[in-house]
Chains A and B, each alone.
Chain A
């Protein structure tokens, strides 16, 4: 396998130029897919035979909840890369993705509460998934908090790498422990290994909005990473040239 792309990722300059091409495309394509999926889901997909129209919040809730977990997984991997190979971009990734993931976890909690009210009759139950998303949100806040508390850049990078890696090792343990502890939530909507249990016309818009949200979040993360790279490399020559030629 050719590993050049991996080594290139270590160079902030290369990443900056690559993200300048792809960031915007990801954001706009993702936004379009997301809007298409949500509009399709809200307006045209058939109503659920049991939950009626209230199930339609699934087109926001599920993509957001899945993305919240993926972001943390990504941060954990980046934490490992930062500690082992000490790549410059890994801590930049963690710092840029943490707020995105935190917002996703928060939206998942809020939309879940709004969904829970008509179907379960309460805003909140101490159910396994709700609790584990709440813990996930707290883990995100921990990463953001330590990032803000430490002034020294090098130390802060190490610290967030350690916190995300430890968090990602713990996340499955937390997930299974709360699942074992209590469960009321319906089983997972999406499983990569199985055929979906929903009919096609309900499931396809969900796929659209999930893929759209992933692309959108990836684009936003690239933009945030570009900002961070500019801030960190402000003394480098290529940044001066870039700013003089293209502006910020």
Chain B
């Protein structure tokens, strides 16, 4: 096993499990549907709230996707293979999260224009929403991977993982929706996007290390 072959195998196995990808997408659509139904279906409410609704749904569906990312590897012994392979666990975590990110975020961006229409989001803002998702979700995935690694050995770790990780998502959600809101008001939004990128980069630098520590502790 080397890094390249690992990434390829991971990528292929994610692509062949189409139902999982579809489920994450359907969950995203479902959460978004709840807001007009539960709060207010009028354009006056939805148009200004759309950025926030999309981002809450994104955060939740990322958590759902990330939650089980090590489960199968833990059960079938792949994680032990990681430790004995002589490769850096940190880098393996990085590659795995990268593959996950590509598989989850790409379809999400594809359905986003349709959902944005349903939420009466102005077309001019759609680009900013997509950009914020592109720049902000890496942070969600990398931070989430720590929680997934910590709770992998628990049979019912999902709720615990939500409790651990969701508070850490708050800054990402604030800056992402801040960028969307600024764009809606015709103000400069590059500052918020820059901070969002910075958070993603910090998460990218530190999370794989933390997740690797947690995986080593979980497996032993």
Which residues 163-220 of A sit at the B interface, judged by CB distance below 8 A?
163, 165-167, 169-170, 173-174, 177-178, 180-181
B146 interface neighbour in A154, A166, A174, Cβ under 8 Å: A166
Evaluate whether A163 and B150 lie within 8 angstroms (CB atoms) in the complex, with A149-B157, A169-B206, A181-B178 already known.
yes
Contacts of A149 in B (CB 8 A): 151, 154, 157, 160
Contacts of B218 in A (CB 8 A): 155
CB of B170 within 8 A of CB of A174, answer yes
CB of B163 within 8 A of CB of A142, answer yes
Contacts of A162 in B (CB 8 A): 146, 150, 210, 213-214
Contacts of A158 in B (CB 8 A): 213-214, 217
Contacts of B90 in A (CB 8 A): none
CB of B167 within 8 A of CB of A174, answer yes
Interface size class of A (residues with CB under 8 A): 20 to 34
Most buried by A among B143, B174, B199, B220: B174
Which residues 148-162 of B sit at the A interface, judged by CB distance below 8 A?
150-151, 153-154, 157, 160
Q: Would you give the 0/1 interface string for B175-219, flagging 1 where the beta carbon is closer than 8 Å to chain A?
A: 100100000000000000000000100100010001001100110
Q: Which single residue of chain B is at the shortest CB-CB distance from A83?
A: B213
Q: Does A29 have its Cβ within 8 Å of any Cβ on chain B? A: no
Q: Does A9 have its Cβ within 8 Å of any Cβ on chain B? A: no
Query: In whole angstroms, what is the CA distance A173 to B169 when docked?
Result: 10
CB of B160 within 8 A of CB of A145, answer yes
Contacts of B210 in A (CB 8 A): 162, 165-166
Q: Would you give the 0/1 interface string for A115-159, flagging 1 where the beta carbon is closer than 8 Å to chain B?
A: 000000000000000000001001101100110011000110011
Contacts of A174 in B (CB 8 A): 167-168, 170-171
Q: Does B164 have its Cβ within 8 Å of any Cβ on chain A? A: yes
Q: Would you give the 0/1 interface string for B113-146, flagging 1 where the beta carbon is closer than 8 Å to chain A?
A: 0000000000000000000000000000001001
Query: In whole angstroms, what is the CA distance A176 to B170 when docked?
Result: 11
Chain A nearest CB from B211 CB (Å) reads 9
CB of A146 within 8 A of CB of B168, answer no
Q: Which single residue of chain A is at the shortest CB-CB distance from B198?
A: A173
CB of B160 within 8 A of CB of A146, answer yes
Q: Which single residue of chain A is at the shortest CB-CB distance from B173?
A: A177
Contacts of A83 in B (CB 8 A): 213
CB of A159 within 8 A of CB of B214, answer yes
CB of A142 within 8 A of CB of B167, answer yes
Evaluate whether A155 and B164 lie within 8 angstroms (CB atoms) in the complex, with A146-B150, A165-B210, A169-B206 already known.
no
A178 interface neighbour in B143, B174, B202, Cβ under 8 Å: B174
Evaluate whether A163 and B174 lie within 8 angstroms (CB atoms) in the complex, with A83-B213, A146-B150, A155-B217 already known.
no
B175 interface neighbour in A166, A169, A177, Cβ under 8 Å: A177
Contacts of A170 in B (CB 8 A): 167-168, 171
CB of B214 within 8 A of CB of A150, answer no
Query: In whole angstroms, what is the CA distance A170 to B210 when docked?
Result: 13
Contacts of A145 in B (CB 8 A): 160, 163-164
Chain A nearest CB from B212 CB (Å) reads 10
Query: In whole angstroms, what is the CA distance A166 to B168 when docked?
Result: 9
CB of A150 within 8 A of CB of B167, answer no
Chain A nearest CB from B146 CB (Å) reads 6
B171 interface neighbour in A141, A154, A159, A173, Cβ under 8 Å: A173
Q: Which single residue of chain B is at the shortest CB-CB distance from A131?
A: B170
Contacts of A181 in B (CB 8 A): 174, 178
Chain A nearest CB from B204 CB (Å) reads 13
Contacts of B213 in A (CB 8 A): 83, 158, 162
Contacts of B150 in A (CB 8 A): 146, 159, 162-163
CB of A177 within 8 A of CB of B171, answer yes
CB of A177 within 8 A of CB of B170, answer yes
Q: Which single residue of chain A is at the shortest CB-CB distance from B159?
A: A145
Evaluate whether A138 and B167 lie within 8 angstroms (CB atoms) in the complex, with A149-B154, A177-B175 already known.
yes
Q: A155-B220, A174-B168, A177-B171 are in contact. List 11 more A-B contacts (CB 8 A).
A: A146-B150, A146-B160, A149-B157, A154-B220, A162-B210, A169-B206, A174-B171, A177-B170, A177-B175, A178-B170, A180-B178
List 11 interface pairs A-B (beta carbons < 8 Å), by A numbering.
Answer: A138-B167, A141-B163, A142-B167, A146-B164, A162-B210, A163-B164, A170-B167, A177-B175, A178-B170, A178-B174, A180-B178
In the A-B complex, the 3 residue pairs with the smallest Cβ-Cβ separation, listed nearest first, are: A158-B217, A177-B171, A142-B164
